Structure 1
């Protein structure tokens, strides 16, 4: 059933230092003012940021914010995941972002634990907790970088939905046609869950290029060349990036996207500038 309200949400990552946590709290104070549907918190490869994730999730919950911890399964045992789910349930959490995740560096390819794919994690959550958790999964409009083909990648996504996913958040992208094509392909397979576009504000070209090369998100050549051309002119780069991403968001929402999921990078300014530019509201 179509959600009557737009799904606007923010993603944070757990800080590594006390100073980072202090700064995060300041940013969240600003982000919460616009009343996002929820705030998700990432979980490092193999649970490498587990303590930081718990600290961040605990603080967000204490602030009365709807919180959706990421839960990665690669390298984890069923007992470990069971304990995490129970911890979150006792904390009153009702949303989980269920991901395969990546093996941390230094772990061999055989160290997969009890789960190999995200659909197995989704099925486990459903078997253990029924409908208690609203489960988001990942989607890749431009195809997962490790997928052997677009068709196989779509098959993998179908398996996650059939295992019990309620909604999906996409990897960020800058080509709206890729998103609409992916959604059309999903609908042709009978998948009706909300597929929320992931949005990455553009504030730092070097960082964006590194992230994009790692996750398979394409920066269109003309955008890349413009960003490269700004060099150290950060103000002009950010102004151009804001125009590009705002235009992308406008097209996505006009085309029927059910909401937007902002990868905030723990910085409120760029996300809230987009929010204001787009005139977003969680109430209408």
Structure 2
């Protein structure tokens, strides 16, 4: 969606919106940490983000990568900065093509700074001299695909202080095709509002987005203000100088000063705020909290779908996903990007070459071995492993090998049941409670347009030891409302699903629309997820030394246990799926260590014995989705 359309919609509704700016970090670790931060800040509800472009194209490849990631994986509307100073036309073409293919529809067209080593800057042959030239070029080659933002300078630019000349340049950029204005940072709100009046008097009527710089520390505040030659109001100096050596106090006072400035802007009828985050989040969050602009429990949910939607070029219309990847959004998007027939409702089948090798998708465990050991410890028994899952459910851990995100509010109604399963050594990966006709604006379960009702079936995915699989399958099949899939790393697949087709586990009913079924369970995607799930567990094992108990323990779980998903098709019930496990578990978790009967064979189960209780014959070492057990 074009940014200018979002801004006009905000003016119509009277609801303030905000956006964030990020810049490409200099180190690989910095890049990964920023992705984590962008992902967290996504949940605050920004209207868009923008990503800066270094002078002369420095780190420009990383800018393009960040835009692609934000659009495709995080589902964030992204505005790509593009400077034209000292840029060959071919470089501009490459950047625009990359943005187009990523699904990006917004560009902030800037002149940029001339190289400092040149005493007298001369545009490259055939290149661009001014931002208006870049705006004209984008419009000529891409028509209305890109919404083009331009820069505004309420206090003058570094090389031009004459506001009359700057205003003429601004009008030229807008007349060439600029659709909105994003301003340089400022702290003098009265001067900004006077500048806005002047802009309107020049006949420029596109939306204006003020640039807001939160205050992190006193030194950084002065450095940035001086660099941008931004005027600091005397009352700000009076409030901040006495506490300049106390960073926490500076952030608290700075929060109030910046929030008051934002309120004056909003009261003046400008409902858009653009935060220069400097790749940090705390000070920005403090301002948004002070303005009461962050989502909070009890507010109506405005998600269009129950999962984070990709804004990649070919994925904007995607409205169905398998539930298995609910906690690994990036992995799902990466792996299905080229699956056969995507996004036309299906994903091909397991024989498709598009399934490929896992390594090419970069979906393995993140972090160094030492970081992961510090996070999840050195488990030496199933009890230790289960405790990692329990700590995650209790919010003490932010991630698991199978989950890139923390638990959500949706987990609260079933949290105690999940913890109970893990206490018995049954390791839960993904789950959802049953939902029977809640309003689509419900703060936790709601999604889709207003006036609708949403539903979902109870779902549970977990890892269980092989000696429990026969009993569990029998219990599931004794309940006519339950369907399941169970599979080992080596493809011993069992199921009672009536077909290989999809089973909708989430759906919504909305006025004037067909029933929407955005989350499904199906054979083909489950088998693809199986490979990923066992690889993630194996990666966790390989964080530990080759001869360590931890490596052997986690490795044996991955090599011998079953990955099981269960759907209770009676969406009126949430508890029945957990009743299946009454009395079931590992007898002594503390003694379940590598090589123990409790961990592997135990009871009457023998991995080499054929099944004699009517179950489907084993399907070792080859994926055969059918025939399935009926």
**How far is 1:150 from its partner?**
1.3
User: 8 Å contact 1:139–1:170 — kept in the other structure?
Assistant: yes
How many residues align? The count is 283
Segments of structure 2 that go 5 or more residues without pairing to the other structure are 11-15, 296-301, 303-630
Report the equivalent of 1:4.
Answer: 9
User: d(CA) in 2 for partners of 1:242 and 1:256?
Assistant: 21
Deviations 1:119-174 (A, max 9, x none): 11111111111111011111111122321411111111111111110101111111
Equivalent runs, 1:161-176 vs 2, <5 Å: 161-176=174-189
User: d(CA) in 1 for partners of 2:103 and 2:119?
Assistant: 36
Is the alpha carbon distance of 1:130 and 1:159 closer, same or farther for their aligned partners in structure 2, counting shifts above 3 Å?
same
User: d(CA) in 1 for partners of 2:234 and 2:57?
Assistant: 35
Segments of structure 1 that go 5 or more residues without pairing to the other structure are none
Report the equivalent of 1:46.
Answer: 56
Is the alpha carbon distance of 1:111 and 1:7 closer, same or farther for their aligned partners in structure 2, counting shifts above 3 Å?
farther
User: d(CA) in 1 for partners of 2:68 and 2:101?
Assistant: 12
Q: Which runs of 4 or more aligned residues in structure 1 lie more than 6 Å from their structure 2 counterparts after TM superposition?
A: none
- Normalized per residue, the structure richer in helix is 1
User: 8 Å contact 2:68–2:99 — kept in the other structure?
Assistant: no
Report the equivalent of 2:144.
Answer: 131
Within the candidate set 7, 22, 42, 2:32 is matched to 22
Alignment of 1:272 with 2:285, yes or no, is yes
User: d(CA) in 1 for partners of 2:9 and 2:103?
Assistant: 24
Report the equivalent of 2:230.
Answer: 217
Is the alpha carbon distance of 1:206 and 1:76 closer, same or farther for their aligned partners in structure 2, counting shifts above 3 Å?
same
**How far is 1:225 from its partner?**
4.7
User: d(CA) in 2 for partners of 1:182 and 1:174?
Assistant: 13
Deviations 1:9-65 (A, max 9, x none): 110011111221122122112210022111100111111121321232222122221
Is the alpha carbon distance of 1:148 and 1:196 closer, same or farther for their aligned partners in structure 2, counting shifts above 3 Å?
closer
User: d(CA) in 1 for partners of 2:36 and 2:290?
Assistant: 22
SS at 2:8's partner residue?
Answer: coil
SS at 2:171's partner residue?
Answer: helix
Greater Cα shift, 113-122 or 246-255: 113-122
User: 8 Å contact 2:218–2:247 — kept in the other structure?
Assistant: no
User: 8 Å contact 1:74–1:100 — kept in the other structure?
Assistant: yes
- Please tell me the root mean square deviation across aligned C-alpha atoms, in Å: 1.9
Report the equivalent of 1:207.
Answer: 220
Report the equivalent of 1:242.
Answer: 255
Report the equivalent of 1:227.
Answer: 240
User: 8 Å contact 1:30–1:268 — kept in the other structure?
Assistant: no
User: d(CA) in 2 for partners of 1:59 and 1:95?
Assistant: 15
User: d(CA) in 2 for partners of 1:88 and 1:52?
Assistant: 12
SS at 2:231's partner residue?
Answer: coil
SS at 2:9's partner residue?
Answer: coil
Alignment of 1:73 with 2:79, yes or no, is no
Greater Cα shift, 204-213 or 72-81: 204-213
User: 8 Å contact 2:53–2:63 — kept in the other structure?
Assistant: yes
User: d(CA) in 2 for partners of 1:281 and 1:232?
Assistant: 29
User: 8 Å contact 2:256–2:290 — kept in the other structure?
Assistant: no
Within the candidate set 130, 133, 147, 1:120 is matched to 133
Mark the structure with the bigger radius of gyration.
Answer: 2
User: d(CA) in 1 for partners of 2:245 and 2:33?
Assistant: 25
User: 8 Å contact 1:11–1:39 — kept in the other structure?
Assistant: yes
User: d(CA) in 1 for partners of 2:240 and 2:32?
Assistant: 31
Q: Which has the higher contact order (CA 8 A, sep 6+)?
A: 1
Report the equivalent of 1:98.
Answer: 109
User: d(CA) in 2 for partners of 1:59 and 1:11?
Assistant: 15
SS at 2:33's partner residue?
Answer: helix
User: 8 Å contact 2:149–2:179 — kept in the other structure?
Assistant: yes
Greater Cα shift, 161-170 or 208-217: 208-217
User: 8 Å contact 2:81–2:110 — kept in the other structure?
Assistant: yes
Within the candidate set 16, 28, 34, 2:44 is matched to 34
User: 8 Å contact 2:181–2:208 — kept in the other structure?
Assistant: yes
User: d(CA) in 2 for partners of 1:211 and 1:118?
Assistant: 24
* TM-score, scaled relative to structure 1: 0.93
User: 8 Å contact 2:17–2:271 — kept in the other structure?
Assistant: yes
